[in-house]
A and B are shown apart, each in its own frame.
Chain A
């Protein structure tokens, strides 16, 4: 049933509005949000793969009677191929990605409900709004539609930052909004250039127009639109120079909030990145641009993570640095590398969520996140320590886990594509990631406990342990059986190139 496809976007948004209205009615908010969060993955399982045309506006060529009623300069040319309405495409990639995104959303909601005594309808509003908007971005085949939902996702992200209790949250949110208000309209202007050139904002139409020679890929307008859209992309995903603000927002939100923020960023990365690859892959220098910015992102973030002393900021930088792997996969541009990048994106979504929630428990216990003031917590919480340690192994790429599989694929693809330097850098960076992780793990759990460390709460909420365990199980399962998802991804990429 293809009619279920728009429901993946509609239901989270309706749920968001409903929960905002219900704000204040404590138990009702809890029940409704949990029920909807459980229902969301079910829609994915029930609906079929396929296209959905909004309002039934399929391309004219699919609709014989209507086509004949138009003059010949429409019915006999490429104009009859244009997509008139907004099109959603739902395939294997979307199914897998959205399944894990919704699962993550469920865990975040579950953790928040258990952590706070009074559940806030507005916070649920923000989470559902973010989930719905990135879902629309991943499904949509329309670059302006993506832009609209991207702006909504950014506003939801700002709301999630503001709902934490950090004392620097307003400043960080303000900086993010100001930088975003420069990046957003520039992205819109780039879309405007494309629209003026092609006359359509549908990505399939644009790439068809480039392929069929209808527009010259080296015309100044097309190149200029590439520059502006590329700038919007690096803003939206936090490659340099936006890596500082992106890591700052991760470090200011609540732990489950940071997990959601990172998940939103990854999905935005994938959907805009795939759009850029589909539109501009005929330009020779696009891959170079993507590789350059990804390399900068990886190097700068990882070195900043090494010298930082704030626990949450370190994980924020690590999360931003891992996005560089996705960028390298997109930049190499072969079938294997893009598949590997998509797989890496999925892994990152899960692993960084695990680390954010796992180290967030430390903040919950001690109310400090300075690694110089922490230490010796393994005697209090050995279970969490071991689970977080395995999560760190997964991030660094230790064999039986999922990070290993995707990084191995990336390195193989780099070697096959005659980029051995990139393979060496990927290995180096993953070693340094592991070193950073060992450093914070040692500082938090293994180092002797400082005298002045006060433990404010003794028990970690059970929902936190439950979430970490679920995420860890996913890590191990994906690591042992990567074919569960990689098959779907490679089918999607095969249709792309």
Chain B
């Protein structure tokens, strides 16, 4: 049985690969966008997994813990603080893309990427 950290790394890799597949090969724009959100989730999961410590504690210093014990046993809080920002950024980027999609649908009446985003010179 592989340990949790390795499994979570593999899981984040799967998310990134599935997302890349969707963003590249699927034609429907909404599905491309869903794929993009999976890529972002995979990257966030990767960062969080780096911070994990097997049998560790949550990085919150409670009154009954001694600092020395806490330093050696807690998960690393820096990546968690970073991911918090990156989750929000991902959501706002998604909102912008979806807004553009709605305008494009109104203009073309289709969600097919090869129809809308094909060569503009034709």
Contacts and interface: CB of A to CB of B under 8 A. Distances in A.
Contacts of B57: none
A48 interface: no
Interface in B65-105: 68, 71, 76, 78-79, 82, 85-86, 89, 92-93, 96-97, 100-101, 103-104
A108 interface: no
A181 B97 contact: yes
Contacts of A148: 85-86, 89
Interface string A160-200: 00100000101101110110111011101100100110011
A175 B36 CA distance: 13
Nearest to B13: A189
Contact of A171 (B23, B78, B85, B116): B116
A175 B116 CA distance: 10
Contacts, number: 82
Interface in A13-71: 71
A174 B92 contact: no
B22 to A, nearest CB: 11
Q: Is the interface of B mostly helix, strand, loop or mixed?
A: helix
A181 B100 CA distance: 14
Pick the most buried of A147, A188, A200: most chain B CB atoms within 10 A of its CB: A188
B47 interface: yes
B39 A170 contact: no
Contact of A189 (B43, B78, B93, B101): B43
A393 interface: no
A196 B76 CA distance: 10
Contacts of A260: none
Interface string A207-251: 000000000000000000000000000000000000000000000
Given A182-B39, A189-B16, A189-B46, A195 B78 contact: yes
Q: How large is the interface on A (under 10, 10 to 19, 20 to 34, 35 or more residues)?
A: 20 to 34
B42 A181 contact: no
Interface in A149-163: 151-152, 155, 158, 162
Nearest to B100: A174
A201 interface: yes
A241 to B, nearest CB: 14
Given A151-B89, A151-B93, A185 B43 contact: yes
Contacts of B71: 71
Interface string B93-122: 100110011011001000000001100100
A162 B50 CA distance: 38
- Among A148, A171, A175, A181, find the residue whose CB has the most chain B CB atoms closer than 10 A: A181
Given A181-B39, A185-B42, A196-B50, A174 B79 contact: no
A155 B89 CA distance: 10
17 contacts: A71-B68, A71-B71, A152-B89, A158-B100, A168-B120, A170-B103, A170-B107, A174-B117, A177-B97, A178-B23, A180-B93, A185-B43, A186-B43, A189-B16, A189-B43, A192-B43, A196-B50
Interface of B: 16, 20, 23, 29, 32, 36, 39-40, 42-43, 46-47, 50, 68, 71, 76, 78-79, 82, 85-86, 89, 92-93, 96-97, 100-101, 103-104, 107, 116-117, 120
